[in-house]
Homo-oligomer: A and B are copies of this chain.
Amino acid sequence: MVAKRRTRAPVFAALGDETRLSLVAKLCGGQRYSISQLTQGSKLTRQAITKHLRVLESVGIVRSVRKGRESRFEFVPQPIEGIKEYLDSVSEQWDQALSRLKSFVEE
């Protein structure tokens, strides 16, 4: 296991796009889909979808497995768990700040 980088920004950035968010929405249901399948219903080109999938893959949100002539993509939960933890720490800091303020006012 290599040092897991302390930078969540790329993961947030990967989620910062409607198209990719809907890919995630589809894939987190557990099913695996080929690129062509994921392109169905989208108004974008297969190549555009491919690029988006590569972005998601580059931050580990998604993984591809070649199966015959198609490459099937599947969801990987870890990166999203990672940023959830990060957001929790942000909320926690904020809550602590609030409670410090509260006790300051009360005394």
Chain B, residue nearest A7 (CB):
B18
Contact (Cβ within 8 A) A80 B91? yes
Chain B, residue nearest A87 (CB):
B84
Interface hits, A9-60 → B, CB 8 Å: 9-18, 21, 24-25, 28-31
List the number of copies, as a whole number: 2
Contact (Cβ within 8 A) A75 B94? yes
Interface size, A (range): 35 or more
Known: A84-B84, A100-B30. Is A90-B25 also a contact (CB below 8 A)? Answer: yes
Contact (Cβ within 8 A) A9 B15? yes
Contact (Cβ within 8 A) A87 B94? no
Contact (Cβ within 8 A) A18 B12? no
Contact (Cβ within 8 A) B87 A29? no
Contact (Cβ within 8 A) B13 A98? no
Q: Flag whether A70 is at the interface (Cβ < 8 A).
A: no
Chain B nearest CB, measured from A40 CB (Å): 20
Contact (Cβ within 8 A) B25 A16? no
